[in-house]
Amino acid sequence: MRAFFQGLRRNERPAAGPTTTAYRSSAYLPLSPSQVRQRRFRPTRVGRRGLDPDEVREFLDRVADDLAAAYRALGDSRQETVRIKDALRRWQSEQAQRANAGQYR
């Protein structure tokens, strides 16, 4: 467990400055699917109990697949937001042009 947290510390972002705003702590790094898939655990010592490495890998693959799906959904959502905002801007511009055209007649 200690090795896991030490690995996280090595990947930390530099501390945010006073002018930087963030929604999360500057020490927080979201996991990517590849980080989850590449994560390996040390085998237990002889005679000690531990986790089955195959089960751990299977679970990590499931987590990575879920993360990948979540990131895809987030990307799709952001694209849809941009599309809707652009359509709204076009509609507002059309309405403003119609209103202005009616005033000058």
> Which residue type does 74 have?
L
pTM of this structure: 0.53
> Which residue type does 99 have?
A
Residue 88: count of CB within 10 angstroms of its CB: 10
Q: DSSP for 48-59?
A: S----HHHHHHH
Count CA within 13 A, CB hemisphere, residue 75: 6
Tens digits of residue pLDDT in 17-71: 444 444 555 666 777 888 888 887 777 777 767 877 788 888 888 888 888 899 9
d(CA 51, CA 60): 13
Pair of tokens at residue 42: 């040390």
Given a cut of 70, whether residue 13 has pLDDT beyond it is no
Structural domain for 95, as ranges: 2-14+22-103
- Are the beta carbons of 50 and 44 closer than 8 angstroms? yes
Tell me how many domains the chain contains.
1
Q: Is 63 exposed, middle or buried (0-12, 13-18, 19+ CB in 10 A)?
A: middle
Given a cut of 50, whether residue 84 has pLDDT beyond it is yes
pLDDT for position 88: 97
